[in-house]
Amino acid sequence: MRGATGDHPPATSGYDAELRRHNEVLRRAAGIRLHDHVLDIGCGTGQTTRQAARTAREGSALGVDVSAPAITRARELARAEGPGNVAFEHADAQDHPFPQERFDLVISRFGTMFFDDPGAAFTNIGRALRRDGRLVMMVWQAGELNEWDVTIRRSLAAAEGSAAGPPGGPDPFSLADPTAVQELLRGAGFTDASFTDVHEDVNYGRDVAAALAWVRGFTCTSEVLKRLDPAAATRAVETLRAELAAHLGEDGVRFDSRAWIVAARRS
């Protein structure tokens, strides 16, 4: 997946570092309170879950993710760093039998865009929320508004004579359209959906080599590179390397990005 799709790598530093600015925006939007019980959907290695649990000192935070390696890593990190009121479960949020009306708040940092059946998934997640409980999730806006996506696609397509084609796989932009998402959430039992524009850079690494390794790990990149013949793949990687180099600044390789904070209440 793109540091955006479904198969998050079981490391902590890459994605957390990429999204340092986004993380702060989500933290503020979530407005977690001392006694809250928080559910983190698609929690990956659990930075946002641990963060939520630290704020909800008299409550708790549960992170769920469909990736077993991510959950193993999340548990290791929680054992090493705490806090004590955090837990992780290896589960598909789409149909996992969450305790009903247990949580005050559902959060997610780019972990809700990959459901096979979004209607069923958000209905299931909604059932876990108490009445009036809140959903606060960060999702990508459209691909063409995200410089990182435009650049990666252009670089891969530049392998002339190749069969690069579309990336395929899970779609990180599946919740980009506010009208469709509002409709989806209404159908799943949510109300008062709002969309707040988040315009922050992503940071792919401190230098070009680190950024290239990170971007090559995205599903959208690796799937295309696998399909190319070796010469075309080499050309695509060199084009990508040049693009990353052009975006290297004092604090790393940064790209413009656009996301939404989607907030809603269980009706």
The residue range among 42-50, 123-131, 180-188, 200-208 that interacts with ligand SAM, by the rule CB under 6 A, is 42-50
The residue among 103 and 110 lying less far from ligand SAM, judged by its C-beta, is 110
Question: From the CB of residue 249, how many other CB atoms can be counted at a distance below 10 Å?
Answer: 9
Q: How far apart are CA 120 and CA 160, in angstroms?
A: 41
The residue range among 91-99, 152-160, 200-208, 247-255 that interacts with ligand SAM, by the rule CB under 6 A, is 91-99
The residue range among 111-119, 125-133, 159-167, 253-261 that interacts with ligand SAM, by the rule CB under 6 A, is 111-119
Q: How far is CA 139 from the centre of its chain?
A: 7
- Identify any residues that bridge with 199 across adjacent strands, giving them in sequence order: 258
Binding of ligand SAM by 110 (CB under 6 A): yes
The residue range among 53-61, 89-97, 149-157, 209-217 that interacts with ligand SAM, by the rule CB under 6 A, is 89-97
Distances (CA, A) of 5 to 37, 83, 191: 26, 27, 26
Binding of ligand SAM by 149 (CB under 6 A): no
Please select the residue that binds ligand SAM; options are 14, 42, 133, 169, rule is CB under 6 A: 42
Spell out the residues 6+ positions from residue 1 whose beta carbon is closer than 8 angstroms to its own.
7, 8, 114, 169, 170, 172, 218, 219, 220
Please select the residue that binds ligand SAM; options are 25, 29, 52, 64, rule is CB under 6 A: 64
Q: Are strands 129-140 and 190-203 parallel, antiparallel or unpaired?
A: unpaired
Please give the single-letter amino acid code of residue 58: E
Please select the residue that binds ligand SAM; options are 37, 50, 75, 109, rule is CB under 6 A: 109
Q: And the tokens for 132?
A: 């009036």
Q: How far apart are CA 132 and CA 130, in angstroms?
A: 6
Please select the residue that binds ligand SAM; options are 103, 114, 148, 260, rule is CB under 6 A: 114
The residue among 176 and 232 lying less far from ligand SAM, judged by its C-beta, is 176
Please, which of residues 172-231 interact with ligand SAM by CB under 6 A? none
Helix (H) or strand (E) holding 97: none
In the complex, the residues that contact ligand SAM under the rule CB under 6 A are 1, 4, 6, 8, 15, 42-44, 47-48, 64-67, 70, 92-94, 109-111, 114-115
